[in-house]
Amino acid sequence: MVTRRQFIGTSVGVGLLIGTCVGETKLGKEVSLMKRYNPILPGFNPDPAICRKGDDFYIATSSFQWWPGIPIYHSRDLRNWELIGYALTDPSYADLRRIGDGAGIWAPSLTYADGLFWLVFTIASGSRQHTYECHNFLTTAPDPIGPWSEPIYLNSTGNDPSLFHDDDGRKWLVNTEFVWSPGYPVHRGILLQEYSVSEKRLVGPVRNIFRGTELGIPEGAKLYKHNGWYYLMIAEGGTGYGHAVTMARSRNIWGPYEVHPENPILTARDDPQNPIQRAGHADLITVSGNRVAVVYLASRPIKRRSLLGRETFLASARWDEDGWLRLDSKRPQIELPDFGLKEAPVKSFPERDDFDSPELGLWWTSLRQPIGELADLRSRPGWLILHGTPSPPDSFIRPSLIARRIQHHSFSAETLLDFAPQEMQQWAGLICYYDTRHWYFLHRQFDEKLGPCIALYARRRPIPRYEKLAQVAIPNVPVVRLGVDCDGLLFRFRFALGERGDWQTIGEPQDALVLSDEFVEEHDPIPNFGFTGAHVGLCSYNITGRGKPPAFDWFEYRGYERWLEILQEHDKEGMKG
């Protein structure tokens, strides 16, 4: 018999309360802990944009090919954050069908002015093997929960747009300039153009106002004004381990811009021993006086692979007497800064979803379009019926898949499945998913030779062939339980017969870090965008259109905060080697 914690070790279980590192939560319980640790948005939450309305702070992050688009988080103390909704929920506003892995919704910018929230974002296409297009849009809402207006097309000149509201009432768009002509850098600098609210379009001249620094690949620009100076804060050095935040300023919005004397103002590129890496793409908000909160993306890799993807971190900064912004530390810090704001606890996501609600919880996402009628929570109350489609997990069309972000290096996930397939191309079960070419699928199926069975398939290579990692014949029981444990390095899959049967391992331990940004970008024979981090969830595949659809009684995700412990164990192993 195998217990789920056998492979995890003794550790304190935590709920999905964002921003906490220790303690245990129960369903609906509010948690307040004295000490807080980065990241504030764990798991796949890159390219943060922050704004405030009064005492309320909001963050928007990239969503790429996952739907709904652009998650929005709320906080009143900058340390505890709650997912409150998504900006893009209408597929007619953002058509992501057939969009490539790592393409889709890039780098939103969220601001508040004139009684409205303003959100600009990129819809990108393409891949590492294709020239990608970047179309930029603007949407507004009186409340960040929505409704958001139909997006207005802005331009297609480059990625990472952001909107700046000047104190004279004018509005300006900055975005990266793309140049695909041979002999020139693709990321050629930062473009500036005015936006007309009345005409709902960009107007006037467009100019490249800043070429970036010697770090190269300027993008992710944000424009601010402080004491009569215009400040550009940009990301440079690429999205990998050379990532950094740099700054420049000018008395005139059109430039010329002088660079910060201590650039980069935030990076881990020269600090390989820092457990937080790939720091860059930042935004800032004034808290009070000269105190400034900076949010930025970074990752927590193990063996230089980031299973959780790029997450959102928080840093403290100040405006110095010489007018330059300086962070309390130029290097990413583990412990969260304290801005002296009153503690404002938030409710965590439940560890267990019993599917008792008629709608899926906010933590569930699907690929490229709404899961819609494929996820039925009404026909069998307390169960999720997940109708299969002819699209397997590596399809760009419409896989019947819902998943949630993996937010802990060490975690367990389980589900109870009622499914009795009668044909070979009917599968349903538990999936660990990065993108169409990188996933593990533990599922119940029917095999013509074995009959009812549990199988573990994977795709970890560019070729369109699945690996059969394990297959076990089972009695034709009505329900099975499926589970996976991760210790930060390996997945260990398991199954059990019935509601109370003993757990049994299936297959050998599998490399979890295949589902990492770095593997996708650097180790796959055909590199692709490695932007999204890993997910775990449920999947249903049926090429026949026949048979009773699978039903899931519950899904449980339990995280264990063992990140630093895993790093220490890995370092010890490295020293032994």
- Note if the pTM is more than 0.85: yes
Contact 416, 499 (CB under 8 A): yes
Domain boundary among 310, 327, 344: 327
List the beta bridge partners of residue 347. Answer: 30
Contact 438, 514 (CB under 8 A): yes
Among candidates 489, 426, 494, which has minimal Cα distance to 456?
494
Among candidates 171, 170, 174, 140, which has minimal Cα distance to 157?
174
111 and 147 in a single domain? The answer is yes
Contact 67, 370 (CB under 8 A): yes
Contact 135, 123 (CB under 8 A): yes
271 and 308 in a single domain? The answer is yes
Block residue for tokens 């970008």: 521
**Cis ω for the linkage preceding 108 (within 30 of 0):** no
Predicted local confidence at residue 6, as pLDDT: 36
Among candidates 349, 482, 487, 411, which has minimal Cα distance to 13?
411
Predicted local confidence at residue 497, as pLDDT: 98
Instruction: Assess if residue 375 is contained within a domain.
Output: yes
Dihedrals φ, ψ of 412, to 5°?
-130, 145
Q: The tokens of 432 are what?
A: 């660990």
255 and 358 in a single domain? The answer is no
Q: The tokens of 414 are what?
A: 């389980």
Predicted local confidence at residue 34, as pLDDT: 54
106 and 203 in a single domain? The answer is yes
Block residue for tokens 């103002």: 265
Specify the length of the chain in residues.
577
183 and 114 in a single domain? The answer is yes
Among candidates 417, 426, 423, 368, which has minimal Cα distance to 397?
368
Predicted local confidence at residue 573, as pLDDT: 64
Contact 428, 444 (CB under 8 A): yes
Catalytically annotated residue among 47, 101, 283, 414:
47
List the beta bridge partners of residue 389. Answer: 541
Q: The tokens of 110 are what?
A: 């969220």
Block residue for tokens 């499926």: 482
Measured CA to CA, the distance from residue 440 to residue 434 in angstroms comes to 9
Q: The tokens of 28 are what?
A: 């609906």
Instruction: Assess if residue 543 is contained within a domain.
Output: yes
Q: Positive or negative, the Cα torsion across 326, 330, 332, 336? A: negative
Structural Rg of the chain based on CA atoms = 24
305 and 378 in a single domain? The answer is no
Based on the residue annotation, tell me whether 219 is a catalytic residue of this protein. yes
Instruction: Assess if residue 332 is contained within a domain.
Output: no
* Residue 59 to residues 110, 144, 195, 233, 240, Cα–Cα distance (Å): 7, 10, 23, 17, 22
Q: Please give the tally of structural domains in the chain.
A: 2
The CATH number of residue 431's host domain is 2.60.120.200
308 and 411 in a single domain? The answer is no
* Residue 223 to residues 192, 220, 228, 250, Cα–Cα distance (Å): 10, 10, 13, 11
116 and 162 in a single domain? The answer is yes
- Max distance between CA atoms of the chain, in angstroms, equals 77
Low-confidence ranges of the chain (pLDDT < 70): 1-34, 572-577
**Cis ω for the linkage preceding 345 (within 30 of 0):** no
107 and 200 in a single domain? The answer is yes
Dihedrals φ, ψ of 567, to 5°?
-60, -45
The CATH number of residue 250's host domain is 2.115.10.20
Amino acid at 229: W
pLDDT in tens, 335-374: 999 999 999 999 989 999 999 999 999 999 999 999 999 9
475 and 532 in a single domain? The answer is yes
Among candidates 268, 164, 241, 265, which has minimal Cα distance to 209?
164
State the residue range of the domain holding 512.
354-566
Contact 190, 160 (CB under 8 A): no
Q: What is the DSSP string of 142-210?
A: SSTTSPPPPPEEEE-S-S--EEEE-TTS-EEEEEEEE--STTS-SEEEEEEEEEETTTTEEEEEEEEEE
322 and 359 in a single domain? The answer is no
Measured CA to CA, the distance from residue 12 to residue 421 in angstroms comes to 38
281 and 408 in a single domain? The answer is no
Predicted local confidence at residue 82, as pLDDT: 97
Catalytically annotated residue among 160, 219, 485, 518:
219
Instruction: Assess if residue 348 is contained within a domain.
Output: no
